[in-house]
Amino acid sequence: MLTGAFGVETCRDAVESAGEEAGAQRPWRGKGVYLACSGRRGRALARRRIETCATRRLNERKRSTDIALGRREADPSARQKSRDRTQPFSRRDLEQSRRAARQWSSNRSCVTLSGQGKQAQGLLQTKLATTEAYTGEMAKVIGFISEKGGTGKTTACYHIAVALQRYHDKRVLIVDADYQRGGITGRFFPELVERFGSGEMSGTTMFHKFQELYSAGERSPEVDVLRWRDCIDVIVSDPRLSTVTEDKLPSTHNIRENNRLLLKHLQVVDYVLGAVKEDYDYILIDSHPEVSDVLRSVVYSSDYCVSPVKFDRQSSIGVATVMGEINNVNADVELIRNSLDGDLEYADTVFSGSMGMMAREWGGDLKQTEYLERNRLRRTGSVFDTYVTEGDGLRRALLERNPVFDVSGNNAGRQAQQLRALTLEFLGKCP
């Protein structure tokens, strides 16, 4: 337990200090601490603050003791060793503390600090007067949707994810729901693209979560999450998602029960993401370019949806279709909610706007035909002010399997600037 690693008094001081500082700034990530108070996200935010404070208090006391006793470090590495001893928690510690906290979740006013091994000597339970200070928000879920392929949807989702992590220090999860090609999976993990030819992916994917519902067996939200370059997590696609349909649900003669099953089908993606939302700031979903039951589940799980598009009539005409599907999902949920006597918490998915991709310019301005098409889109719904121009920078980035931010050249530099500006506007439209 943490009291064994830091000491009861240090932990108590840390809890008090965390309560004082929680309102001043958002705590950063930590591990090995879990708080059973004020909801999952509140516990996550509070544990990070308390562990940071506990480490700082312990270091201060060690430093004061060393000065008082006139101690000197025997070798240059001693400082690093001392620093390592103040951070004894591993990934295993974090998972154990999370499991323990779930068991203690009924006690909302108690702070429980836990660790591992022989150092775990006791259990500190301290009333936290500032519990309400730890009420951070869960991850925002944004669906990238389009009725037509080739509009730059995957390119936009990929680069916005990288920009959020790299330039805005956001924790990002990518969900690849494009079951035809798994484009964004291939961008992050090229070696997995070959498996699409076999018709299935190894491990547990989103496809298995739909199958659990169809079989009426035991359900679990756990899926395999892969890490890309130690900075972005990815739930990879599965070509078998193409077989997902509400027609596979077991039917009954009870209308209310049928409605519940239809609702569960809509909730599959949200069911999976609900288990990990506290670990991320943004979850981006790259969907398949067609209206399907998978897309409807993506829409249900999303707080916002955006639609990357080319400024031509053939591409932009699909924006009205996806906007209509968002409205259909919201209306269907409202209907099901009424049939279930309102026993459902759901906030309508919001369409944040169209993103212009592969735009063509002349003399620094959009070509007239694309300018007119952009204005027509604005009469339909919101359109991002920033757009990304056509050029070989993104093509070179695709060839090199890198973000365009890491590609040299004038055109690549310009597109990188545009994508960074697009990400900034994205943060404003999807707060």
User: Measured in whole angstroms, how far is the alpha carbon of residue 270 from the centre of its chain?
Assistant: 12
Let me know: does 394 contact 424? Beta carbons within 8 Å. no
pLDDT of residue 74: 41
Please state the φ and ψ torsions of residue 242, each to the nearest 5 degrees.
-65, -20
Same domain for 148 and 110, yes or no, is: no
Same domain for 8 and 126, yes or no, is: yes
Let me know: does 124 contact 8? Beta carbons within 8 Å. yes
Q: What is the pLDDT along the chain (431 residues), one digit of tens a residue?
A: 344 444 445 445 555 555 544 443 333 333 333 333 444 445 555 555 555 555 565 566 556 555 555 544 444 444 443 334 333 444 444 444 444 444 433 343 333 333 333 333 333 232 233 223 333 578 999 999 998 888 999 999 999 999 999 999 999 999 999 987 668 998 999 888 777 777 778 899 999 999 999 998 899 999 999 999 888 999 999 999 999 999 999 888 888 889 999 999 999 999 999 999 999 999 999 999 889 999 999 999 999 999 999 999 888 888 999 999 999 999 999 999 888 876 788 999 999 999 999 999 998 899 999 999 999 999 988 999 999 999 999 999 999 999 999 999 999 999 999 999 999 999 999 98
Pick the last residue of a domain from 133, 158, 190. 133
Same domain for 200 and 115, yes or no, is: no
Q: What is the CATH number of the domain that holds 359?
A: 3.40.50.300
For the chain, the maximum distance between any two Cα atoms, rounded to a whole number of angstroms, is 82
Same domain for 110 and 191, yes or no, is: no
Question: CA 11 to CA 121: how far, in whole Å?
Answer: 13
Q: Please name which of 273, 322, 333 lies closest in space to residue 141, comparing C-alpha atoms.
A: 273
* Strand partners for 144: 286, 306
Put simply, whether the predicted model's pTM sits higher than 0.95 gets the answer no
Q: Please name which of 362, 361, 357, 356 lies closest in space to residue 376, comparing C-alpha atoms.
A: 356
The total of structural domains in the chain comes to 2
Let me know: does 270 contact 394? Beta carbons within 8 Å. no
Pick the last residue of a domain from 70, 100, 133. 133
pLDDT of residue 253: 86
Same domain for 167 and 100, yes or no, is: no
Same domain for 203 and 108, yes or no, is: no
pLDDT of residue 251: 82
pLDDT of residue 22: 44
Question: CA 324 to CA 318: how far, in whole Å?
Answer: 10
Same domain for 199 and 311, yes or no, is: yes
pLDDT of residue 60: 62
For residue 172, CA distances in Å to 20, 139, 158, 175 come to: 29, 9, 11, 10
Domain with 81 in it: 2-133
**Paired tokens of 142:** 């944004």
What distance, in Å, lies between the first and last C-alpha atoms of the chain? 37
Same domain for 95 and 222, yes or no, is: no
pLDDT of residue 83: 36
Pick the last residue of a domain from 133, 160, 185. 133
Same domain for 167 and 121, yes or no, is: no
Same domain for 73 and 168, yes or no, is: no
pLDDT of residue 179: 85
* Strand partners for 111: 126
Same domain for 168 and 111, yes or no, is: no
Same domain for 193 and 276, yes or no, is: yes
